[in-house]
Copies of this chain bind each other. A is one copy, B any other.
Amino acid sequence: MMTSTISDHVDYVSGKTRLFGIVGDPIEQVRSPEMITAEMVGRGLDAVLVPIHVLPHEFDACLPQLLRVRNLGGLVFTIPYKARACALADDLLAQARVVGAINVLGRGKGGRWRGEIFDGLGCVTALRRRGVELAGKRVLLIGAGGAGAAIAVAVGFERPASLRIHDIDADRARALAAKVAHAHPGVDVAAGAPVLDGVDVLVNASPVGMLADARLPIDVASLPRELVVLDAIVKPERTPLIALAERCECTTVFGREMMRGQIAQMVDFFVST
């Protein structure tokens, strides 16, 4: 049994294996090495994604040189590098241009590095898989941090009837609303209160409800049955908000579904570039 396991590993990484990495600081907690490697291997690709721990004061000198490794197929960027990594891209794709951050860099035809952010696209895709199209819908987004910004931009691309953004930092919500409104003229985008009147889809991109946090990101005792609720939090799988939504018989989308959609899209991106 042990021998067979080791022999699997031996067959797995070879001189021909295409290399991918995730760059962050810290790095030990990242899940991309398991998840993206499994997605690539599951598609029959000879590829592995490894953790690459780079310190902030070494990022600017180190990363351009890392990109010279010829068998490097692409990089994923996580905290704190999503915004800084934009400078490494020769071309920024649609979402990344608006968000001002990337989470993937892929080697394109002719050797040009293409950057895109899939943090928000994963949200749109997960909703679509549940039969929820955002076009014409009224969306309330809680949280205007990094994840919230990517989600707001991706939602904007779907042409919702309206997008209201709430954050405990009101300035941050207003700045994000202005950015999305500028990028998507004709979409009704504004900072707003965390109230559900007239809302079709509620998205939580705030950390409220994460791990042992028993709070709801919005002050309600129940939710309308016709509301669609997506919580971007991955741990726990069933957040207090999702648990309430299930009790109220809402359509629910878990953070894990959003992450799975994003993983598939990132591998699509690596393969296509």
Contacts and interface: CB of A to CB of B under 8 A. Distances in A.
Interface in A1-51: 5-17, 19, 22, 27-35, 37-38, 41-42, 48-51
A71 B53 CA distance: 6
A88 to B, nearest CB: 13
Q: How many copies does the complex hold?
A: 2
Interface residues of A, number: 45
Contacts of A219: none
A68 B54 contact: yes
A267 to B, nearest CB: 14
A51 B15 CA distance: 5
Interface stretch (A57-65, A95-103, A104-112, A249-257): A57-65
A94 interface: no
A69 B48 contact: no
A16 B48 CA distance: 15
B69 A62 contact: yes
Contacts of A62: 65-66, 68-69
A52 interface: yes
A50 B9 contact: no
User: Looking at A13, A34, A49, A52, which has the most chain B CB atoms within 10 Å of its CB?
Assistant: A13
A55 interface: yes
Contacts of A48: 13, 48, 50
Interface in A126-148: none
A49 B55 CA distance: 21
Contact of A34 (B10, B27, B53): B10
Contact of A69 (B31, B37, B42, B53): B53
A54 B65 CA distance: 10
A234 to B, nearest CB: 14
A32 B29 CA distance: 27
A35 B11 CA distance: 10
Contacts of A6: 38, 41-42
Contact of A38 (B10, B27, B28, B49): B10
Interface of A: 5-17, 19, 22, 27-35, 37-38, 41-42, 48-55, 58, 61-62, 65-66, 68-71
